[in-house]
Structure 1
Amino acid sequence: MAISTDVPQTVDWNGKKVPVYPMEIIDFSKLLSQEPAEIERLVRCCQDEGYFYLDLRGIDGRRMLEDQQDTLKLMYRFFDAPLEAKNEFGLVAPHLGYEPIGSRTGVLENTKDGYEMIKVSRDEIQKDSPHLPAVIKNSPDMKILEHAIAGANIATKTILSALSTGLGLTGAARFENTHRNDRPSTSTLAMMHYIPSEPTAKNIGHQKHTDISSLTFLFAEQWGLQVRPPGSKEFGFVEPKEGMAVINVGDSLRFASGHTMQSCIHRVVPLDPTEHRYSIAYFLRAENDVMFTDSEGRLITAGQWHDEKFFAFTSPPEIQALAPSSMILGGMTEEDEAVEATASKDAPSPVVGATTLGESVQVY
């Protein structure tokens, strides 16, 4: 399955027409049945583009759609609470706790991000007394979070298993055997609230990045997510589709696949600057002590990669500059019209890993 060469649909954003990129649809029920044709399509999606829709409208996926709606209701209540209540514990760990608006750099130069986020890790939710703000630490809300995490974990493990089968992996080499449920990991559920943001605002969107995760399982009913397909020259929107989640490959699975899979470059911008936007993402990550080779050729654990990348992009620019250049986008490369135009004029080459067009980079 080659990347589509069809002229994409466009939408108006920020005074220009921006593409809406087509995405393949993978049927969750067919993956559960290990149907060979669907597994082959899945492997090609991950190798060619690094993202796809997961169709959950069959009987096996409907519970996850119901869990999404319950989680959204919890999020509306949580994000409406006073800041002191939401931030009771602050950020306990990079994959657990609350981050207020403006904690990171924004989409455009000299801006801060335009979202707040509460993260609940899979390991933490199973404890007798997990670190959660009191405003959602009650029996009904805990059950909602457990269901959301369990459903997303089942879906992403099903995808990993299908990828292993499609690539002919056996025994310990299968991807799911480095994502065992009883081993410590930084797998987490992230719930995000984006505030209304005009293009001239000081807090806007979520800047471009690749995810640390092996797989990201995303629900978002509103427009705003943009991807940059391999080989493309610009970001384009992803159309929200009812009954479907958006799945994207992250750095860890790219590394584990011998760099044959594409880690999806993406960001979030406000298509409608007047709305509050909500999204739910489950980041499936490898066990903390799993080893792989990153894009610099370093042998590194999944836990170390998570901590290094998170630290790099929550640090001042002078500290970020010390990180390997490939850490910014997980070793993925970009073709940029501005860079090409500069090169054609024999200007100095841009620094490897530098951003262009006033963009900045971030990581979950």
Structure 2
Amino acid sequence: MPTQAYFDQYPSFPDDVQTAELQRVSFAKLLSQDSAEAKTLFEACRAWGFFVLDFEGCEEGQSFLQSAADMFELDKEVNSMDVEELMKYAYKPPYSLFGYKEAGNLKIEDGRPDRVEFYNVGRDDIMGVSAPLSNPPCIEQSRLALKSYMEQAHSIVRLICATLDSQLRLPSGTLASLQPLDKPSGTALRLLRYLPQPTADRRTSLLGHTDIGSLTILFNITGGLQLLAPGTDPTDEANWRYVKPVPGCAIVNLGDAMVEWSAGVLRSNMHRVTYAPGAQGQTPRYSHAYLVRPQAEAPMKRLAGGDSLIPELEQGEEENTMNAKEWEAHKAVAIRQGRDNARSRGGREIKLKGEKIATVTVSEVGA
């Protein structure tokens, strides 16, 4: 989340709300290859699949926070446009993942329309990997700022991947090589807005789900994001925990691709967005998410072998022979047909040379 100055523009997050106490990881310490911080990140990625990344205390972090603030301003600008005008740039999944999604065109768990609108800015478009797409003037005028943000975000993704490589005992550069900056992918910056909900009709705005990609960097200022406590029933409202936004920090989570590559060692946790708690619920909620997907031709098979902690195929398991583009299309069809309903994935027990490395439990990360 950006600086305290942005937080001061909104009501405070209430103290009487049950929250998910996520691990807070220092970006500066990861840059310095601090071994204890790397282990903290790994444990968080196995237990919740979420952690808070603190950008305070180093020049690179401060620069990224300023870029994130610029993206908040762009978020407000694009989502304040008339819907009729924005619909000229409507996204058309599964054929196109980029452009504008109006509120209400997707459903929540009980079949009612969602309450979120967003604009997806394609990374391939901004970085020149694909032919330029048509975007509203405010997006077109911000191409340089968007390019700078995406380059900075990519360097952070590379750092997280390098940390996970070391913890999983993979060859250096393994995870980053599957999601490079210069190869086609569905990676996008999503600029979201949630308008205040009627007091008498407050409900889920964006249904519970896991991210299909590899990693997400989320900035928000007001609450609304909720995580499902690992190992619990998503139909029980008591199992959903708010995430409290923190100045100077982003919320980072892993997606299903990381679970696939790690054979379930890493975790992709269910999450949803509902109304912001307390007085925050009376204000529009803006957030932006950098949604990283593997490059289209990346293999989705598990990264087992050598000294890796990722287990080899066991009896009854099948190797994933698809590339990322095929795998994403397969998952999209399965979800639409009800064969792959949203559920948390990963966090499996791992072993090395007969020595069990126990599954990390929620209590071990302070929840």
Gaps of 5+ in 2: 1-12, 234-238, 303-315, 348-367
- Equivalent residues of 2:300, 2:327 under 8 A apart: no
Deviation by residue 1:244-269 (Cα, 9 ceiling, x = unmatched): 00001110011111211110210000
Q: Within 1, Cα distance between the matches of 2:101 and 2:35?
A: 42
Specify the code of the residue in structure 2 equivalent to 1:256. W
Cα pair 1:226 1:267 within 8 Å, conserved = yes
What does residue 72 of structure 1 align with? 72
Q: 1:308 aligns with which of 330, 340, 358?
A: 330
Distance of 2:299 and 2:131 partners within structure 1: 31
Superposition map of 1:108-187 within 5 A: 108-127=109-128, 130-139=132-141, 141-170=142-171, 174-187=174-187
Q: Deviations along 1:176-215, whole A, 9 cap, x unmatched?
A: 1211222221111111111221365498511100001111
Q: Distance in 1 between matches of 2:96 and 2:17?
A: 33
Identity %: 27
The answer as to whether partners of 2:207 and 2:273 remain within 8 angstroms in 1 is: yes
Once residues 334 and 116 of structure 2 are traced to their aligned partners in structure 1, the CA distance between those partners, rounded to angstroms, is 20
C-alpha distance after superposition, 1:64-84 (max 9, x if no partner): 111111111111111111113
**Correspondence for 1:101:** 103
1:145, distance to aligned residue in structure 2 (A): 1.6
Query: In structure 2, how many angstroms separate the alpha carbons of the residues matched to 1:330 and 1:291?
Result: 22
Counterparts of 2:143 and 2:14, CA distance in 1: 39
- Which residue, out of 293, 306, 328, partners 2:342? 328
Q: Which runs of 4+ in 1 moved over 6 A?
A: none
Q: What is the Cα deviation at residue 94 of structure 1? A: 4.2
Alignment length (residue pairs): 309
| Residue pairs, 1:201-280, within 5 angstroms | 201=201, 204-233=204-233, 234-271=239-276, 272-280=280-288
Seen in structure 2, the aligned counterparts of structure 1 residues 133 and 312 have a Cα distance that, compared at 3 Å, is farther
CA contact (8 A) 2:38 2:163 kept: yes
1:38 aligns with 2:52: no
* TM-score normalized with structure 1 length: 0.77
**Corresponding letter in the other structure for 2:106:** R
1:56-102, Cα deviation, whole Å (9 max, x unpaired): 11222111111111111111111111113222221154431111111
The 1:296–1:267 alpha-carbon spacing in structure 2 relative to 1, beyond 3 Å, is: farther
Q: Is the contact between residue 89 and residue 136 of structure 2 (CA under 8 Å) also seen in structure 1?
A: no
1:196 aligned partner, one-letter code? P
Q: 1:166 to 1:229 in 2, by over 3 A?
A: same
Using the TM superposition, name which of 190-199 and 261-270 deviates more: 190-199
Shift of 1:284: 1.4
CA displacement at 1:220 relative to structure 2: 0.6
Q: What code does the residue aligned with 2:26 have? A: D
Inter-CA distance 114–296: structure 2 relative to 1 (3 Å threshold)? farther
Paired amino acid for 2:122: S
User: Contact 2:259 / 2:346 at 8 angstroms: preserved in 1?
Assistant: no
Q: Does 1:290 align with 2:298?
A: yes
User: Does the CA-based 8 Å contact 2:224-2:242 persist in structure 1?
Assistant: yes
Q: Tell me the residue number matched to 2:196.
A: 196
Aligned equivalents of 2:119, 2:332: Cα separation in 1:
16
Q: Is the 8 A contact 2:214 2:255 kept in 1?
A: yes
In the alignment, is the contact (CA less than 8 A) between 1:198 and 1:204 conserved in 2?
no
Alpha-carbon deviation of 1:332? 5.8
Whichever residue aligns with residue 41 of structure 1, its letter is T
The CA RMSD over aligned residues, in Å, is 2.6
Q: Secondary structure at the match of 2:250?
A: strand
Structure 1 pair 217–67 and aligned structure 2 pair: CA distance change class (3 A) = same
User: How far apart, CA to CA, are the structure 2 residues paired with 1:209 and 1:332?
Assistant: 14
TM-score by length of 2: 0.77
On the 8 A contact 1:227/1:237 being kept in 2, the answer is yes
Change (3 A) 1:115 1:225: same
Query: How far 1:148 moved relative to its partner?
Result: 2.1
